């Protein structure tokens, strides 16, 4: 009897940028506007090839300012949209990124971090844009920032980024780094039906009852789509619940507070982390992005030498997962934060710590990755 073998899931060698682009497609992204920049160009190249196959649209705009504008326009017209860039382009996008925060337009912005400031190190990795991702655009605003550390995560977290952006009507920044973006690893991509995809909630009331910026218990108002009968005003000015510009104190503050609240009441859903041996550890490494990979190796080596070392991987960087870091500081575990900048996340860890324990850092800004040895040396120095 012939027994047909079930076809094996296709393993493939894939680059982080390509995985990100494929993740976007499976999440339902059908519009991409971008401008070439190293080390993010592969995302645009891959999507320019793939989007027209699925009736999507790819456009190369005249600059990153225009790219971000087109992405917001696409999203307002009801299509999941994204752009991808690196440091200098990300600086240009900040203006319209603020617009997306203010008008609550879902979109995903990929920033593949390279060395800075300015033109910096186009082909070398860095993690120097962590604070820019949080505070890059002017004014108080909440934002969600995710950071992948492997090619598979470039895929899965891009889907998550779209889901968060649609669920909470907010731009989500996907903070990759040059290592993760250009690295090739073996991945097995899931079938489309195995992936959870969330779409924005649209209004169900009659158009004349629709209040586009109404407060809801969930904190996120349903989103009307241009051309679907819910005519409303979208503006970057502070607006009332009908979307019209306002200068009234009793409308300004409730609106801005809701922007924060819609994220803060959902911290448990948004703040993603992974813990490795943190329970019995007396030293915990806090790492994210490509640095996580070195930190993991360092932890394994340290454990082999009998040192009680744990590891906390931050997947969501902003809003900073305080509720996970705080118990570690309370338990008086020494924290070690390796990162490829002069201390942007370690600053947050120190803020959470408030003198309860010691926070050590390993900082490197020479355009190369932090090696496991460098982390290990710091651990051994501390354990002496």
Judged by the rule CB under 8 A, the positions of this chain that interact with other proteins are: 2, 4-5, 7, 30-31, 33, 49, 52-53, 55, 57, 59, 61-63, 65-79, 81, 95-96, 99, 226-229, 231-237, 242, 244-245
Q: How is residue 84 written in tokens?
A: 């991808």
Residues whose CB falls within 8 Å of the CB of residue 119, separated by 6 or more in sequence, listed in order: 88
- Reported residue count of the chain is 384
Q: Min. distance of Cβ 350 from other proteins in angstroms? A: 35
**What is the token pair recorded at 18?**
């390509």
Q: Both tokens of residue 350?
A: 């120190």
Rank residues 135 and 244 by Cβ distance to other proteins and give the closer one.
244
CB atoms within 10 A of CB 360: 17
C-alpha 354/C-alpha 376 separation (Å) is 25
Query: CB of 383 within 8 A of CB of 334?
Result: no
> Nearest approach, Cβ of 242 to other proteins (angstroms)?
7
DSSP 239: B
Query: Of 5 and 384, which has the nearer Cβ to other proteins?
Result: 5
CA-only gyration radius of the chain, Å: 22
Q: In the complex with other proteins, which residue's Cβ is closer, 75 or 291? A: 75
Q: Degrees (nearest 5) of the Cα angle 183, 187, 191?
A: 140
Rounded Cα distance between 304 and 291, Å, is 20
Q: Which is nearer to other proteins, 90 or 276 (CB)?
A: 90
Q: Smaller CB distance to other proteins: residue 69 or 171? A: 69
Rounded Cα distance, 217 and 262, in Å: 9
Three-state DSSP at 203 gives coil
Cβ-based nearer residue to other proteins, 209 or 384: 209
Q: Find the largest Cα–Cα distance for the chain.
A: 79
Q: Are strands 144-146 and 171-177 parallel, antiparallel or unpaired?
A: parallel
The Cα-based distances of 262 to 18, 37, 352 in angstroms read 32, 33, 22
Shortest Å, Cβ 217 to other proteins:
25
As measured in angstroms, the least distance from the Cβ of 360 to other proteins is 42
Tell me how far, at minimum, the Cβ of 70 lies from other proteins, in Å. 4
Q: How far is the CB of 142 from other proteins (least distance, A)?
A: 19
Residue 108 CB, shortest distance to other proteins, in Å, is: 14
Distances (CA, A) of 184 to 17, 38, 179, 220, 232: 9, 17, 9, 38, 45
Q: Which is nearer to other proteins, 72 or 299 (CB)?
A: 72
In the complex, what is the shortest distance from the CB of residue 288 to other proteins, in angstroms, rounded to a whole number? 31
> For residue 362, which of 380, 350, 346, 384 has the smallest C-alpha distance?
346
Question: Which of residues 107 and 161 has its CB atom nearest to other proteins in the complex?
Answer: 107
Compare residues 49 and 218 and give the one whose CB is closer to other proteins.
49
Nearest to 106 by CA among 84, 79, 85, 87: 79
CB of residue 17 to other proteins, shortest distance in Å:
20
């Amino acid at each position: 009897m012939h027994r047909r073998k079930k076809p094996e899931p296709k393993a493939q060698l894939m680059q982080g940028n390509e995985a990100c682009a494929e993740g976007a497609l499976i999440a339902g992204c059908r519009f991409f506007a971008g401008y070439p920049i190293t080390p993010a160009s592969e995302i645009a190249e891959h999507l320019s090839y793939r989007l027209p196959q699925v009736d999507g649209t790819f456009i190369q705009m005249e600059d990153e300012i225009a790219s971000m504008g087109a992405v917001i326009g696409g999203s307002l017209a009801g299509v999941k949209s994204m752009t991808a860039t690196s440091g200098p382009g990300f600086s240009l996008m900040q203006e319209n990124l603020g617009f997306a925060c203010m008008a609550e337009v879902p979109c995903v912005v990929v920033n593949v971090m390279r060395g800075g400031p300015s033109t910096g190190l186009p082909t070398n990795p860095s993690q120097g844009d962590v604070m820019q991702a949080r505070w890059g655009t002017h004014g108080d605003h909440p934002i969600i920032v995710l950071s992948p550390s492997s090619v598979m995560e470039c895929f899965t977290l891009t889907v998550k980024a779209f889901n968060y952006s649609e669920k909470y009507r907010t731009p989500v920044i996907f903070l990759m780094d040059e290592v993760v973006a250009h690295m090739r690893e073996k991945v097995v991509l899931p079938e489309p039906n195995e992936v959870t995809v969330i779409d924005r909630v649209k209004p169900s009331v009659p158009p004349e009852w629709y209040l586009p910026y109404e407060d809801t218990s969930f904190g996120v108002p349903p989103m009307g789509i241009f051309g679907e009968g819910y005519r409303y005003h979208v503006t970057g000015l502070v607006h009332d619940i009908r979307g019209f510009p306002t200068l009234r104190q009793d409308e300004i503050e409730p609106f801005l507070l809701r922007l924060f609240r819609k994220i803060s009441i959902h911290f448990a859903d948004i703040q993603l982390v992974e813990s490795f041996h943190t329970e019995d550890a007396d030293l915990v490494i806090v790492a994210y992005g490509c640095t996580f990979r070195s930190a993991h190796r360092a932890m394994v080596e340290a454990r082999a030498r009998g040192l009680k070392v744990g590891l906390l991987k931050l997947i969501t960087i902003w809003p900073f997962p305080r509720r996970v870091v705080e118990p570690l500081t309370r338990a008086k575990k020494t924290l070690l934060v390796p990162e490829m900048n002069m201390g942007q996340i370690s600053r947050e860890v120190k803020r959470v710590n408030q003198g309860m324990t010691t926070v050590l850092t390993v900082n490197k800004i020479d355009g190369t990755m932090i090696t496991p040895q460098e982390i290990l040396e710091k651990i051994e120095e501390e354990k002496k």
